[in-house]
Chain A
Amino acid sequence: MLRYIAKRILIAIPTILIVSVLVFTLQQLLPGDPVLTLAGEERDPQVLAFLREKYRLDDPIPVQYFAWISQVLQGNLGISLRTDIPVLTLILGKLPVTIELAIFAMMVALVIGIPAGILSAVRKGTSVDYAANVVALSGLSIPNFWLGILLIMLVSVRWKLLPASGFVPPSEDLWLNIKTMIMPAFVLGTGLAASLMRHTRSAMLGVLRSDYIRTARAKGLLGRVVIMKHALRNALVPIITLSTLLFGELLAGAVLTEQIFTIPGFGKLIVDAVFNRDYAVVQGVVLCTAVGFILMNLLADVLYVLANPRLRHAR
C-alpha cells in the first residue's frame, strides 16, 4: 500500500508543476504591455522601469517562469499590488473563514444527500424516489447565487430571522458566527447535497442488487439492519472519496456564496483581486486552490485504499 501511495505522490508532482506553468501563463494573457496593467494609474517611466526589472519582464518567458517558480517554492507568492501584503499572508488569513464555511456546507450536504440517496434507492420506483430525484435535479440546476438572493429576501428581509450578510469570527461571538453561517452553508451545501444524493442512490442500488444482500435477507435479517449495516457500509466507500473530490466544487461555489453574503473568505479574495487588477493575488489563489485540490485527490485515493480491503492488500 505504501508503494501505491508513493506512486500517487510521484504522479502528483508533475501535475503540480504543470499547474504552476498554467498559472504563470495566465499573466501572459494580459492584453498589451503587462507593466502598464500592473502599474495601474501610474505612468512614471521610473516606476515602469522598476516594475519591469522587478518582474523580470525583459527576460525570456522561460527565465521569467523559473524566477517565479523558485520564489513560489520558497513560499513567496508575490506581494499584493493593492495592499502591499504578501499574497501568502493574505491567503492564509482568509482561508480559515472559507474552511469554516466549507465544513458547514459539507455537513448540510451529508445530512441531506446521504439519507435522501438511501431512501430513494430503497424505495426505487415509488413516489418518494421520484420526488427525491426531482429535488436533486432542481438542486443541481439552481444557480447558488440566485438561491442566496431568494433566501436573503425571504429569511432576512421578510422574516428577519437571520442576518443577511457579514461575518463574525467564532472567537468574538460563537452564536452570531453560527447565525451568519447558516444561510451561506445551506446555499453552498444544496448543490453538493444533490450530487451526493445521486451518487448515494446509484451506489446503494448497485449494492442492494448483490448476492450477499440477498443472503442477508434470506437469513431473515430485518430490512433496516440489512440496509444500514450491510448495504450502506459498502456503498459508503465511493461516497467517502466523492466527498473529498467535491472539495473543488466547494471552493468554486464559495466564490459566489461569499460574494452574496459578504463573507471575507478565500472566494471574496479572488473576486476583489480580479476587480483591483491584483494579478499576483489571482495567481496565488488559483495555484493554492489547485494544489489543495490535488492533495485532496491524493487523500481520496488513500482513503479509498484504506476503506477497501482488497486494494489494501494488493501489491
Chain B
Amino acid sequence: MTIAITEDLALPKKRNRVLAKFLKNRSALFGAVIVLFFVTIALMAPLVAPFDPVKPSFMTIRKPPSAIFWFGTDELGRDVFSRMVWGARASLSAGVVSVAIAVLLGVPFGLVSGYFGGWIDAAISRSTDAMLAIPFLIFAIALAAFLGPSLTNAMIAIGLSAMPIFIRLTRGQVLSVKAEDYVEGARAIGLPDFWILLRYILPNVIPPILVQATLTIASAIIAEASLSFLGLGQQPPNPSWGSMLNTAKNFMEQAPWMSFFPGSAIFLIVLGFNLLGDGLRDALDPREN
C-alpha cells in the first residue's frame, strides 16, 4: 500500500520534471511551434485556403507571387498557397498514419519477441534483420510499386518499412525491463504474461517509442514526399508537397516559386519534428539531469 502511494505521488512529480525540462529547451519548443503551426493549417484547410486547390484556371497560369496569389500559381493556374494548405493534410496524415501503422504492428511484435525469447524471438529478430537490410525508401518504393500508386498505399508501404525499427527498439527495452525486480515479482505472484506485458512492461517501453515515433514521423514525411515526387504517392489532381515538387521540377526556369514553397514546407515540418524528437529524448533521458 505504501509503495502504491509513493508511486502515485512520484509519477506526477516525474511528469512535471520532464515537462519542465522540455519547456526549458528552446529548440524543442521551436520545433513544437512549427509542428503545431502546420497541424493547425492542415486542420483548418477549408478556412485557410483562399482558392480551390484542384480546379484549373487557364487565365492565371504560372503567375509569380503577388497580393492575390501569395505563393504564385502553377502550370494549370491553381493557387500554390491553397494547394500547399491542402497538401499539408496529405503530408501530415501520411507521416502520422504510417508511423501509427509501424507502431501498432511493431510494438506488439517487439514485446512478444523480447518477453518470450526462444524460437519466437529468433524468428522475429531474423525477420526484423531481413527487413532492416532493405533500405527504407527502396522497400517503400518496391511495396508502393506492387500495391499500386496511391496515398493510402504509400502510407501502408512507409508504415511497413518503418515497422522493424519499432520491433527492434521495443525488444531491446523489454529485455532490460523484464529483468527488473517488479516484473520478477509480478511473475512470482502468478500474474498472466499478457497482463505483465500490458501493465508492467509496456508503460516503461512507451517513452523511447514516443521519441522514436516523433523522429520517424519526420522520416515518413520525407518518404511520402519522395514517393509522391516519384509519382507513387498522392495522385493528381490532389495536392501533396511531394507531388507539387514533382510537377515543379519541369518548370524550374519559368516558375521557380512552384518548387520553392512546397520544398520549404517539407524542410520546415521535418525540422520541426526532428527538433521536437530531440527535445523529447533529452527531456525523457534521466542522464541529462
| Cross-chain contact A137 with B142 (CB below 8 angstroms) | no
Judged by a CB distance under 8 angstroms, whether B37 is at the interface is no
| Cross-chain contact A293 with B245 (CB below 8 angstroms) | no
Chain B neighbourhood of A71, CB < 8 A = none
| Cross-chain contact B148 with A141 (CB below 8 angstroms) | no
Stretch at the interface among A46-54, A173-181, A278-286: A278-286
| Cross-chain contact A143 with B225 (CB below 8 angstroms) | yes
| Cross-chain contact B222 with A143 (CB below 8 angstroms) | yes
Q: A143-B267, A145-B229, A157-B253 are in contact. Are A22 and B274 (CB under 8 A)?
A: no
| Cross-chain contact B139 with A149 (CB below 8 angstroms) | no
B 125-154 binary contact with A (CB < 8 Å = 1; else 0):
011011101111111011111111000000
Q: How far is the CB of A211 from chain B (nearest CB, A)?
A: 19
Judged by a CB distance under 8 angstroms, whether B117 is at the interface is no
Chain B neighbourhood of A271, CB < 8 A = 141, 230
Q: A143-B263, A274-B145 are in contact. Are A19 and B133 (CB under 8 A)?
A: yes
Judged by a CB distance under 8 angstroms, whether A308 is at the interface is no
**B contact residues, total (Cβ < 8 Å):** 44
Chain A neighbourhood of B229, CB < 8 A = 145, 256, 259
- Give Cα A16–Cα B126 distance, bound, in whole angstroms: 9
Chain A neighbourhood of B231, CB < 8 A = 275
Nearest B residue to A157 via CB reads B253
Q: How far is the CB of A159 from chain B (nearest CB, A)?
A: 13
Q: A143-B263, A157-B253, A286-B142 are in contact. Are A249 and B270 (CB under 8 A)?
A: no
Chain A neighbourhood of B139, CB < 8 A = 286
| Cross-chain contact B263 with A290 (CB below 8 angstroms) | no
Nearest B residue to A267 via CB reads B138
Judged by a CB distance under 8 angstroms, whether B248 is at the interface is yes
| Cross-chain contact B142 with A138 (CB below 8 angstroms) | no
Chain A neighbourhood of B275, CB < 8 A = 137
| Cross-chain contact B138 with A289 (CB below 8 angstroms) | yes
Nearest B residue to A26 via CB reads B146
Chain B neighbourhood of A279, CB < 8 A = 145-146
| Cross-chain contact B145 with A255 (CB below 8 angstroms) | no
**A contact residues, total (Cβ < 8 Å):** 50
- Give Cα A30–Cα B144 distance, bound, in whole angstroms: 10
Q: How far is the CB of B193 from chain A (nearest CB, A)?
A: 26
Interface residues of A, dominant DSSP: helix
| Cross-chain contact B147 with A146 (CB below 8 angstroms) | no
| Cross-chain contact A30 with B245 (CB below 8 angstroms) | no
- Give Cα A33–Cα B229 distance, bound, in whole angstroms: 28
Chain B neighbourhood of A26, CB < 8 A = 142-143, 146
Interface residues of A in 110-146 (CB under 8 A from B): 137-138, 140-143, 145-146
Count chain A CB atoms within 10 A of each CB in B135, B231, B267 and give the residue with the most.
B135
Judged by a CB distance under 8 angstroms, whether A238 is at the interface is no
Q: A146-B259, A271-B230 are in contact. Are A137 and B133 (CB under 8 A)?
A: no
Interface residues of A in 255-276 (CB under 8 A from B): 255-256, 259-260, 270-271, 273-275
| Cross-chain contact A30 with B146 (CB below 8 angstroms) | yes
Interface residues of B, dominant DSSP: helix
| Cross-chain contact A146 with B142 (CB below 8 angstroms) | no
Judged by a CB distance under 8 angstroms, whether A15 is at the interface is yes
| Cross-chain contact A152 with B274 (CB below 8 angstroms) | no
Judged by a CB distance under 8 angstroms, whether B249 is at the interface is yes
Q: A19-B134, A286-B139 are in contact. Are A149 and B126 (CB under 8 A)?
A: no
| Cross-chain contact B142 with A282 (CB below 8 angstroms) | yes
Interface residues of B in 254-287 (CB under 8 A from A): 256, 259-260, 263, 266-267, 270-271, 274-275, 278
Judged by a CB distance under 8 angstroms, whether A221 is at the interface is no
Q: How far is the CB of A258 from chain B (nearest CB, A)?
A: 11
| Cross-chain contact A282 with B145 (CB below 8 angstroms) | yes
- Give Cα A152–Cα B263 distance, bound, in whole angstroms: 14
| Cross-chain contact A22 with B131 (CB below 8 angstroms) | yes
| Cross-chain contact B263 with A146 (CB below 8 angstroms) | yes
B 79-102 binary contact with A (CB < 8 Å = 1; else 0):
000000000000000000000000
Q: A29-B146, A29-B147 are in contact. Are A248 and B135 (CB under 8 A)?
A: yes
| Cross-chain contact A146 with B226 (CB below 8 angstroms) | no
- Give Cα A99–Cα B267 distance, bound, in whole angstroms: 28
Judged by a CB distance under 8 angstroms, whether B120 is at the interface is no
Judged by a CB distance under 8 angstroms, whether A27 is at the interface is yes
- Give Cα A149–Cα B260 distance, bound, in whole angstroms: 9
Count chain B CB atoms within 10 A of each CB in A21, A143, A157, A249 and give the residue with the most.
A143
Q: Which residues of B contact A (CB under 8 A)?
A: 126-127, 129-131, 133-139, 141-148, 218, 222, 225-226, 229-232, 245, 248-249, 252-253, 256, 259-260, 263, 266-267, 270-271, 274-275, 278
Known: A27-B146, A270-B142, A274-B141. 18 other contacts (CB 8 A): A138-B267, A143-B270, A146-B245, A146-B263, A146-B266, A149-B245, A149-B249, A149-B259, A152-B252, A251-B138, A255-B137, A255-B226, A270-B138, A279-B146, A283-B142, A286-B134, A289-B138, A293-B134
